[in-house]
Structure 1
Amino acid sequence: MQLTQALTRAVQISHRQTATIYNDRKRTWREVGQRVPRLAAGLRSLGLKPGERLAVLALNSDNYIELFFAAAWARLVIVPLNTRWAIPENIYSLRDAGCSALVVDEQFAPQVAELRAGHALRQVVYMGDGAAPREMHSYEKLIEACQPMPDECGSDDELCGIYYTGGTTGHPKGVMLSHTNFVSASVNWIATLHFTDQTIYMHSAGLFHLAGTSPAFALTMAGGTHVCLPKFDALLAFEAIQKHRINYVLFVPTMVNMMLNHPDFDRYDLTSVRYCEYGASPMPDAVLAKAIEKLPSWEFIQGYGMTETAALTVSLPWRFHFDGEHGKAKRQAAGRASLGVDVKIVDPEGNELPRGTPGEIAVRGSQVMLGYWNKPEATAAAIRNGWMHTGDGAWMDEDGFVYIVDRVKDMIISGGENIYSREVENAVHAHPHVRECAVIGVPDEKWGEAVMAIVTLKDGKSATAAEIIDHCHKLIANYKCPRRVEFRESLPLSGAGKIMKNVLREPYWQGKTRSVN
């Protein structure tokens, strides 16, 4: 298995078709197929050797997608850096991976001096628009100056990319992904999520994240069209969908919520979209119900996965969002195991649990990572007997549907009762004035931990803590209801659009020796 097979197939079957759209720039697959081998040769001309790590710090663009394949063509290991991390965090990643070179765009070129001061980079390439700054090589001039090189891509279990996880505890971990991981994930994505050569897909998730990378690789394999937004913005998304007649999108729940509540939502024609994949964090049912109501032409498909499994491992097709062959609607589920992936729910010792019993999701298959870069102990703790232990709490029903309840480590234990924050968040979200919420456990002298809801309200709406708590009492058991409610203007989001509960939780646990009470 080779990642570059995706590109060579796209050029072969879709060479006349538009491959990438970025702002007003369009390139066909023939053009991309000519540029990538030249860029690969350009990277090699900088003295980069097979197996060396090439970092990239940039917003989404057509060039970023080309770079993925050029790095593989030249047998380099790509290391996408998180665009929302602070400079010291990315310096850590550069050092940890031992990156030899860095590619940046105009947004991050000003950080290069500081990044170089923190890690000795041999080369820096500028792939933004306009002239390259001093001491940086021009992306376009590398392509112009070099003749195309033969494809020297690695294969199978050879390392292809290192993706750094969020680092909610200690330092970030570099997830090592191989050609087999990426190719398997791409085939899985195409079969499960309906990518074809007619797919016009909008990239709004960051390409540094697997929610951006996986569809980029799969869509290339299918020979479809990439429409790149620099980053998610509701108005940019509306405009792109209408202008380019986009028929496939991927959003995390916070993005969907922002779009539904945007004042200009009704001004745009969004009917070209056929499929919307959502995931990365649970979708509150109130938000999903509103999306189904306000976007009747869209078919929603939930996807669940993680960086360590090259993204998609469980999916929920559109038909299961409604009553049907399995009775009551399954839309509270994350879905069923995707093709080529084994999924089970296990206890702390790794034993499979009976259906309906909450435990931890474990995953096995060709998409599971090689391991964590330079962290053999963390690798051994995560992959046991061939199974990747995800850290996500869930249960499985008799039909094989997996229901996510929480991160195992985020479970709240109050008065001896296990409380899963997602259930409480669904109740809070059902309040008509709530825009977004996160539920965390905070120290409590009487109960050990108390349930706390941190809430943002819709524009022009108001609510009191007592109203939110009374509302929840009507929907869930008393012991699960928030005992405290705090209102904020916004909630902290990770680069993947997930609410950062560790940031919300931290002030309440300062001075504690552990984050449970």
Structure 2
Amino acid sequence: MQLTQALTRAVQTRATSTATIYKDRKRSWKEVGERVPRLAAGLRGLGLKPGDRLAVLAFNSDNYIELFFAAAWANLVLVPLNTRWAVPENLYSLRDAECSGLLLDDAFAPQGAELLAGHPMAHVVHMGDAPTPPGMHAYEALIAGSKPMPDECGRNDELCGICYTGGTTGDPKGVMLSHTNFITASINWIATLHFSDQTVYLHSAGLFHLAGSSPAFALTLAGGTHVCLPKFDAVLAFEAIQKHRINYVLFVPTMINMMLNHPDFDKYDLTSVRYCEYGASPMPDAVLAAAIEKLPTWEFIQGYGMTETAALTVSLPWRYHFDGEHGKAKRQAAGRASYGVDVRIVDEEGREVPRGTPGEIAVRGAQVMLGYWKKPEATAAAIRNGWMHTGDGAWMDEDGFIYIVDRVKDMIISGGENIYSKEVENAVHAHPSVRECAVIGVPDEKWGEAVLAVVALKDGKTATAEEIIAHCHKLIANYKCPRQVAFVDALPLSGAGKVLKNVLRDPYWKGKKRSVN
């Protein structure tokens, strides 16, 4: 298995079809197939050697899609940097991965001097459309000035990419992913999520994240069409769907919520979309219900995975969002194990627990990472007896459906009772004035920890803390209800659209030796 197989197949079978659309620029698969070997040769011509780490800090674009395959073609290890991180955080990744080269687009070219001051590199490429800054190589010039090189892609379990996790506890960890990881995940994606050569897909999740890159690899293997937004924006998404007749989208729940509540939502024709894959964080049931009602042509598919498993490992098809073969609607579930992946719920000793019993999700299969870059102890702690321990709390029903209750570390213990924030968040979200919410545990002298709901209200709506708490008492047990409500304009989000609960917790736990009480 090698990543470039995806590209060579697309060129062979879909040469004249549209491969990428970015702003007003379109390229066919034949054009991409001609550009990638030249770009690979240009990168190697700079002095980069097989196995060298090559970083990229850029928003989504057609060039970014090409770079994935050019780096693999040249047998370089790509290190996508997080566009939401501050310079010191990305500088940590550059140093940790010992990167030899860096590509920057127009938005991040100004950071080049600061990054290079902290980690000098001789090979810096500008991959934007503006004039190339002094001291950088021009992306298009590398392609135009290089003869195509033969495919020297690595294969099977050789290292292909290093993707850095959020680092909510300690320093970020570099997840080492192989060619087998990526190709297996791509085949899984095609089989599970219905990609085909007729798919016109909207990239709105950042390509630095597996929610962006994993579908990019799968869609290339399928020979579909990539439509790239630089980054998520509700109006840009509306416009792209309408203009290009997008038929497949992936949005994290916060993006869907923002779209549904946007004042211009009803101004656009969004009916071309057939499939919407959602994941990366739990979908509040109130948001999902609204999406099903307001977007009747869309079929929603839940996807669950993580960087360490090359993304998709569990999915919930559209039909299980409603009553059917398994009785009552299963849409509160993340789904069941996808193809080629073993999933089970285990206790602290790694033993599978009985159905219906909460535990930790463990995953085994060809998608599981090689390990964490230069962190053997962390690797050994995460992968035990061949099983990747995800840190996500869940239970499995008799039909094999998995219900995620929370991050294991996010569980709140109040008065000796275990409280999973997702259940509380679903209750808070059901209030008609609530746009977004996140539930965390904060120190409490009486109960050990108290439930705090951090809430952002819909535009033009009002609600008091007392009203929201009273609303929750109608839906969930008293001990689970928020004891406090904090109002904010918007929740802090990671580059992948996940709520940064550690940012919300920090002020309440400052000065404490532990983040549990």
TM-score range, shorter chain: over 0.9
User: 1: CA distance between counterparts of 2:377 and 2:138?
Assistant: 40
2 CA distance for matches of 1:143 and 1:463?
57
- What amino acid sits opposite 2:134 in the alignment? R
What is the aligned partner in structure 2 of residue 206 from structure 1? 206
Counterpart AA for 2:493: L
**1:327-346 deviations in whole A, cap 9, x for unaligned?**
00000000000000000000
1:76-225 matches, within 5 Å, as 76-225=76-225
Q: Distance in 1 between matches of 2:43 and 2:496?
A: 29
Question: 2:289 is aligned with what amino acid?
Answer: A
Q: Aligned letter for 1:244? A: H
The answer for the alignment partner of 1:2 in structure 2 is: 2
CA displacement at 1:459 relative to structure 2: 0.4
Q: What secondary structure does 2:140 align onto? A: helix
Match of 1:396 in 2: 396
Residues 41-96 of structure 1: CA deviation (Å, up to 9, x unaligned) = 00000000000000000000000000000000000000000000000000000000
The count of aligned residue pairs is 517
> How many Å apart are 1:130 and its aligned residue?
2.7
Local SS of the residue matching 1:20: strand
Q: 2:240 aligns to what?
A: 240
Deviation digits for residues 321-373 of structure 1 (CA, Å, limit 9, x no counterpart): 00000000000000000000000000000000000000000000000000000
Aligned to 1:46: 46
How far, CA to CA, are the matches of 2:220 and 2:458 in structure 1?
39
Q: 2:42 and 2:462 mapped to 1: Cα distance?
A: 57
Aligned to 1:476: 476
2-structure distance, mates of 1:412, 1:396: 21
Distance 1:486 1:143 in 2: 53
Are 1:255 and 2:245 matched, yes or no?
Answer: no
Equivalent position of 2:271 in the other structure: 271
The answer for unaligned runs of 5 or more in structure 1 is none
What SS does structure 1 have at the residue aligned with 2:41? helix
CA distance in 1, matches of 2:278, 2:490: 21
Deviations 1:153-182 (A, max 9, x none): 000000000000000011100000000000
Q: Deviations over 1:97-123 (max 9, x none)?
A: 000000000000000000001102121
Q: 1:456 is matched with which residue?
A: 456
- Match in the other structure for 1:287: 287
The amino acid of 1:461's aligned partner reads K
2:3 matches 1:21 = no
Q: Alignment partner of 2:271: what SS?
A: coil
Distance 2:378 2:177 in 1: 15
Q: 1:352 aligns to what SS in structure 2?
A: coil
Query: How many angstroms apart in 1 are the aligned matches of 2:94 and 2:483?
Result: 43
CA deviation vs aligned residue, 1:111-155 (integer Å, no higher than 9, x gap): 000000110212100000032110000000000000000000000
Residue type matched to 1:287 in 2? V
SS at match of 1:345: strand
Cα deviation 1:484-506 (Å, max 9, x = unaligned): 00111111000000010000000
Matches within 5 A, 1:352-501: 352-501=352-501
Cα distance between partner residues in 1 of 2:308 and 2:364: 11
Q: Over the residues paired in the alignment, what is the CA RMSD in angstroms?
A: 0.3
Cα deviation for residue 468 of structure 1 reads: 0.2
Aligned partner of 1:347 in structure 2 is: 347
2:462 is paired with a residue whose SS is: coil
SS at match of 2:344: strand
Q: Distance in 1 between matches of 2:136 and 2:338?
A: 43
- Structure 2: tracts of 5 or more residues without a match: none
* CA distance in 1: counterparts of 2:471 and 2:131, whole angstroms: 57
Letter in 2 for 1:118: G
Q: Deviations 1:257-277 (Å, cap 9, x if unpaired)?
A: 000000000000000000000
Moved over 2 A (4+): none
Distance 1:122 1:343 in 2: 44
Percent of pairs with identical residues:
84
Query: 1:319 maps to what in 2?
Result: 319
Cα distance in structure 1, aligned partners of 2:207 and 2:467: 41
Q: C-alpha distance in 2, partners of 1:71/1:87?
A: 23
Distance, in Å, in 2 between the alignment partners of 1:18 and 1:450 is 54
The one-letter amino acid of 1:41's match is A
Aligned to 1:425, what secondary structure does the other structure show?
helix
Deviation for aligned residue 1:188: 0.1
Q: Name the amino acid aligned to 1:125.
A: V
| Alignment match, 1:36 | 36
SS of 1:161's equivalent?
strand
Q: Name the CA distance, whole Å, in 2 between partners of 1:209 and 1:427.
A: 30
CA distance in 1, matches of 2:325, 2:491: 38
Structure 1 residues 395-418: Cα deviation after superposition (integer angstroms, max 9, x where no partner): 000000000000000000000000
- For residues 328 and 506 of structure 2, the distance between their equivalents in structure 1, rounded to whole angstroms, comes to 39
Aligned equivalents of 1:14 and 1:432: distance in 2?
A: 48
Instruction: Report the 3-state secondary structure (helix = DSSP H, G, I; strand = E; otherwise coil) of the residue aligned with 2:206.
Output: coil
CA distance in 2, matches of 1:97, 1:431: 45
How far the C-alpha of 1:229 sits from its partner, in A, is: 0.1
Give distance in 2, aligned partners of 1:506 and 1:133: 39
Return the alpha-carbon distance in structure 1 between the equivalents of residues 234 and 494 of structure 2: 17
- Other-structure match for 1:510: 510
How much does 1:245 deviate?
0.1
Q: 1:223-246, CA deviations, whole angstroms, 9 ceiling, x for partnerless residues?
A: 000000000000000000000000
TM-score normalised by the chain length of structure 1: 1.00
Find the residue that maps to 2:424 and give its secondary structure: helix
Q: Which amino acid aligns with 2:260?
A: L
Q: Distance in 2 between matches of 1:134 and 1:416?
A: 61
Cα distance in 1 for partners of 2:439, 2:356 equals 23
Please tell me the residue identity of whatever aligns with 1:388. Answer: M
